[in-house]
Structure 1
Amino acid sequence: MSDLLTVVAVTGTAGLATGLGALPVFARARVTHRTYDAALGLAAGLMVAASVFGLVLPGMEEGTLATVMVGVLLGGVTLLVGNYAIPHLHAQYREWLPEGGATDDDAASMAATTPDASLGDPTASIDEQDSVLRKAVLIGGAITLHNAPEGLAIGVAFASGLEEVALLLAVVIGLQNVPDGFAFAVPMGETGMSNRRVLVYTTLSGLGPQVIAGVFGFTLVSIAAGLFPVAAGFAAGAMLAVVFRELIPSSHGHGHADAATGAFLVGFVLLVVVDETIVV
């Protein structure tokens, strides 16, 4: 069984890959809808395949079909409940959408951010500081909802002694984090936020939640032996819910559904190749 330090290192490395997705924003070039939608499609394909091959199938080998499926349903429902209950701003291409109790004013405030309205300005008034803090919390809510299931999956696999599966998930999640970070950084960059802040916040969006969730999953399964099947199903269900609740809808509706679908298939195939390379 791997130790906790290994879990932190692996989930941290996968999380850091999110920052790579922010690099195109440095050019401040206009990113087309086609590129944005294809990036989301690629991420969706990787996550669906990882959920099935990295979590559901190994979970069924360790436990029963019913146990894993109960976990899948619990994970999906938990993600949807969290999406409804936790106030957050969901980033789409060139716009912010309020969800879970966030308001239209929150979204309008984020979209109106200018380079002069830098986060953490010590000279800002109390009201401005409160507004900045609320923006950070609302963005953080969306980040945690989307990235925590991935870290949980890695931690659960490591705790169950499935190092090869855990490494497979880490590689796939790292690959998926690049377009995921890209999808998040584009609307942030277009609000006028500085390049440095876009890079920092995008990187932290994958690093923080994934490491914390990885440690939680590792600790939980280590303490309670036999939880891997339901925990693996839970992580898979939450990841699938993210795909169908966020990634697929966000990649359609701009006239580039074919590009997004093609990228989805590429992501799915890429997972199978990585699976065969690492596990076999």
Structure 2
Amino acid sequence: MTTLATVLGVTGVAGLATGLGALPVFFRNRVTHRVYDAALGLAAGLMVAASVFGLVIPGMEEGTLRAVMAGVLLGGFALLGGNYLIPHLHAEYREWFAEGGATDDDVAVMETPAADPVAEATGRSDESDAGAGTAADDAGLLAERESSLRKALLIGGAITLHNAPEGLAIGVAFASGLEEVALLLAIVIGLQNVPDGFAFAVPMAETGMPNLRVVWYTTLSGVVPQVVASVFGYSLVGLSAGLFPVSSGFAAGAMLAVVFRELIPSSHGHGHADAATGAFLVGFVLLVVVDAVVVV
């Protein structure tokens, strides 16, 4: 019987892989748009294959086709509903777009280099003898902190929508006693998290945020929502093993919605559709190979 500690550990490791994808920000001047689009295509291929081979098929083996397909529709439309309702910023290469309740003003803020409130405060303290540290400076510092907080919330909304279904899938599989499926999903999601983290980190780095902070935030964006969602899925199915077919379909539907709503559109339209498509196929084949090795 899989313990909750195992679920947390496996999902946490998969989430940490997101931070690896942020490492190229240290060399982002060499990161081309082609590479960015290919990374999105690779992530999409992995997620599509994982949804089919890791969730839909095992769900049909444990339950009925009707239950699994109902879960797919529920998960897909839940993702679309969340995308509409939750204010967040959708990141593309060097561009941000308002989604949900986010506004064009939020996008405008992201287009300017992000100042470091701590550094600013330190700089002003050094100039205290010259008359700095006035009420106006304090007000400006507070406004900057509020702006940074809103940025974090808007970015966090998008990342949660992307990563929560993946954690849910791992938790659901573990709770249903399908350890091999759960480990397969964790491996695939860990692989997918690398290009996913890269796709998120590059535009965030373009705001002027320090590289180490970009890596830290990107890592948290993978670990936190996936661990929380995995615990939720594990607890939900633990209440009734019969929920696995619907739950697996729900996670698959949400992941497929992420692919077609975010990853594929973001990887096309920039003149590198062939690179993105080729990477998609590589990702799909890679998942099938990993699946075959784990099953054997």
TM class by smaller structure: over 0.9
Trace 1:1-280 onto structure 2 (pairs within 5 A). 1-114=1-114, 117-118=115-116, 123=121, 125-280=141-296
> How far 1:189 moved relative to its partner?
1.1
What 5-or-longer segments of structure 1 have no aligned partner?
none
Give the direction of change, closer, same or farther, for the CA distance of 1:94–1:229 in structure 2 (3 Å limit).
same
What 5-or-longer segments of structure 2 have no aligned partner?
122-139
**SS of structure 2 residue aligned to 1:227:** helix
Which has the larger Rg? 2
CA deviation map 1:72-123 (0-9, x unaligned): 0000000000000000001100011110010111011012124xx1266684
Task: Output the CA distance in 2 between the equivalents of 1:180 and 1:166.
Answer: 20
Give the direction of change, closer, same or farther, for the CA distance of 1:172–1:154 in structure 2 (3 Å limit).
same
Q: Is contact 1:221-1:228 (8 Å) kept?
A: yes
Q: Is contact 1:47-1:173 (8 Å) kept?
A: yes
Q: Is contact 1:120-1:129 (8 Å) kept?
A: no
Task: Output the CA distance in 1 between the equivalents of 2:118 and 2:191.
Answer: 31
- Counterpart amino acid of 1:190? E
**SS of structure 2 residue aligned to 1:193:** coil
The total of aligned residue pairs comes to 278
> How far 1:31 moved relative to its partner?
1.5
**SS of structure 2 residue aligned to 1:80:** helix
**SS of structure 2 residue aligned to 1:90:** strand
Q: Is contact 1:120-1:132 (8 Å) kept?
A: no
Over the aligned positions, Cα root-mean-square deviation in angstroms equals 1.2
> How far 1:192 moved relative to its partner?
1.1
Give the direction of change, closer, same or farther, for the CA distance of 1:168–1:224 in structure 2 (3 Å limit).
same
Q: Is contact 1:96-1:107 (8 Å) kept?
A: yes
- Counterpart amino acid of 1:56? V
Q: Is contact 2:117-2:144 (8 Å) kept?
A: no
Q: TM-score, normalised by structure 2?
A: 0.92
Give the direction of change, closer, same or farther, for the CA distance of 1:74–1:101 in structure 2 (3 Å limit).
same
Task: Output the CA distance in 2 between the equivalents of 1:217 and 1:139.
Answer: 23
Q: Is contact 1:153-1:232 (8 Å) kept?
A: yes
Q: Is contact 1:14-1:207 (8 Å) kept?
A: yes
Q: Is contact 2:117-2:141 (8 Å) kept?
A: no
Task: Output the CA distance in 2 between the equivalents of 1:273 and 1:42.
Answer: 15
